[in-house]
Chains A and B, each alone.
Chain A
Amino acid sequence: MTVRESLGAVGRYVFVGFVFVFFALPLLWLLTAPFDAAPSVQVSLPDFTLQNFRTLWDNPYAMRSLGNSVIIAAGTMAITLVLAALASYALSRVRIPGRDTLLYLLLLLSSIVTGTAAMVPTFLLMTELGLIDRQLGVVLVLTGGLLPTAIFILKDFMDSTPRSYEESARVFGASSLQILRHVVIPIARPGLATIAVWAVVQVWGNFLVPFILLRSPDRQPAAVVMFTFYTEGGQPNLALISTFSLLFSIPVVLMYLFVNRRYGFRFHGGIKR
């Protein structure tokens, strides 16, 4: 190894060390504070206890908000999955005039009409429809935003599934819905699983849409409720916030790992955003 190469190696590890500290430092708190008997905002070796999880369990708002997150995420995922599967299948198999233009137009719209840019018209629309402070409203708005990408990606999956099975099923007299259910969906399962996980991850962490559309604390999801955890003294309730943050983060991290392992293709980029 030449001097230059070893200097390069040293430089590389110094850089990696710095970057590692930069990314890991804020995360450390999430590992120490939940288990600390007297959590502060500072990272420190915890005086180990599980008492904070008891505090979390006993807080009705915290547990309910996690339930709300599950409802909103599951609802959005289910509607997105069903509608996108139907649409992408039809678009993959039948040449509807203007199909490609339609797909690109939808994709364009979903990337420009973001929650942030469209918060005013979305808020007014939901007010007019009487869907303010209803979880259904949040689910519908989020579904509208996710569908174009879901259809776009699923159509790719549908395009790559063989058609010969469908032909045989048809010969045996299966209806198109039966074909979809018993032939196409089993074949496209990896694609559907991908979209399902992707949709849940998108919705789980979404703050803005439920923040502007939901008023009652007992309907708000975890992402919004988190910022209301204060002690009687007006200080953030750190025992509660830290355990809650941990519990709230674990599902998306697990789902990410699951998708990564199960469908090892380079899917990383799409799972968030």
Chain B
Amino acid sequence: MTTVPSPTEVDPAGAPSPEGGSRRARAVDDGDAAGLGRWRATGFVAPALLVVAVFLVFPAIWTLYLGLTNWRLTGLAAAEPEFVGTENYTDALSDPAFRNSLMLTLVFVFFSAIIGQSILGFALAWTARRLRPAVRSVLETVVLLAWIIPASVVAFLWLALLDRREGTLNALLGTDGTAWLLEYPMQSIIVFNIWNGTAFSMLLFSSALASVPPSQFETAKMAGAGTFATLRDVVLPNIRGHILTNTLLITLWTFNVFAPYLITAGGPQGRTEILGIYIYRVALRDGALGQGAALSLIMIIINLIVASVYLRLLRERRA
């Protein structure tokens, strides 16, 4: 349910694309041509707001209260949950499993999104510019397929790829019997997530690179600048906004990813138990709903910090 609009639609910080520049100069007149009137307009908006209020806003606010109770899925505390104050929070902070999960999440987000997806995505966008169109479109298609095929399917594809006895990877590498998901669980889900999500960075950086004025590349070429110098002096200054946008969005998304559950289910021994999976185990499998609500709130607050930075950029851009 991650639903931030993509920067290719509402380009917050990047340089204006050729056709994008005029779009932003939109006619803002609120002359009410349709003669809706304020009341009828409110009536049009109300149903949507109601659904959002009940199913999106209320759960978020309710978490504040739930996290202060000992609500459980079954048993006595399920019927009459008691108020326990900040116990859930102090418990969480002193629980090694929680700190472990937070640490794993940081590692996961840092290596799979900030390092992996960003760099591979940029490298692909950069390389693709100079490929023949047919090669380029084949390459972009496989990267995109990894992104748009449903999570349940790609998870199974990776289970098949990494299978211990008959997996394609072991057959190719001649590493028969290597149990990748047991021996290198974190590395496996990091590589999986890079594979799964790089398409977004690739698309974003493709449009970013397309917005760099060609004359600047020409100038760099005439000045005899190498690839590195061109990247540093021409590309980087032009796409700084895109880099920031990309980093914030993929951080937010990767932080909220649940797909690794379908591959490792958090195991072995909690070694891939990133925050979403940890919450699922504590709250819905072990039944400690109050505890889980406290964890949910912590997660929502971290999301809030990342998202508000992003939306501030978005707003500055459109204002």
Q: A111-B3, A119-B284, A205-B152 are in contact. Are A104 and B63 (CB under 8 A)?
A: no
In the assembled complex, which residues on chain B have CB atoms less than 8 Å from the CB atom of A41? 159-160, 163, 166-168
Known: A16-B139, A121-B296, A270-B6. Is A83-B150 also a contact (CB below 8 A)?
A: no
Contact A25 to B38, CB < 8 A, known contacts A108-B311, A248-B150, A253-B145: no
Whether the Cβ atoms of A245 and B153 lie closer than 8 Å is yes
Q: How large is the interface on A (under 10, 10 to 19, 20 to 34, 35 or more residues)?
A: 35 or more
A59 at the interface (CB under 8 A from B): no
Query: Which 3 residue pairs spanning A and B have beta carbons closest together?
Result: A269-B6, A144-B55, A205-B150
Contact partner, A111, options B58, B143, B203, B303, Cβ 8 Å: B303
B contact residues, total (Cβ < 8 Å): 116
Interface flags for A9-52 (1: CB within 8 Å of B; 0: not) read 00010011001101111111110010000001111000000000
Measured between beta carbons, the chain A residues less than 8 angstroms from B157 are 26-27, 29-30, 245
Considering the complex, give the chain A residue whose CB is closest to the CB of B53.
A144
Q: How far is the CA of A166 from the CA of B144 in the complex (A)?
A: 40
User: Given A20-B139, A86-B47, A268 and B203 touching (CB < 8 A)?
Assistant: yes
Of residues A121, A167, A252, which shows the largest number of chain B Cβ atoms within 10 Å of its Cβ? A121
Q: Give which listed residue, B5, B52, B158, B262, contacts A26 with CB less than 8 A.
A: B158
8 Å CB interface, B72-113 against A? none
User: Are B148 and A272 touching (Cβ within 8 A)?
Assistant: yes
Does chain B have a CB within 8 A of A106? yes
Q: How many angstroms between the C-alpha atoms of A224 and B37 in the bound complex?
A: 46
Query: B180 → chain A, closest Cβ, in Å?
Result: 13
A16 to B135, CA, bound (A): 9
7 example contacts (A-B, Cβ-Cβ < 8 A) are as follows: A110-B3, A124-B66, A148-B56, A159-B26, A160-B23, A268-B6, A268-B8
Chain B stretch 100-138: residues in CB contact (< 8 A) with chain A? 120, 123-124, 127, 130-131, 135, 138
If A114-B256, A269-B200 touch, whether A96 touches B66 (CB-CB below 8 Å) is no
Q: Do A12 and B204 touch across chains, with their CB atoms under 8 A apart?
A: no
CB-contacts of B29-69 with A (<8 A): 29-38, 40-45, 47-49, 51-52, 54-60, 62-63, 66
- Would you give the 0/1 interface string for A144-175, flagging 1 where the beta carbon is closer than 8 Å to chain B? 11111101110010011001101100100000
Interface membership of A54, Cβ < 8 A: no
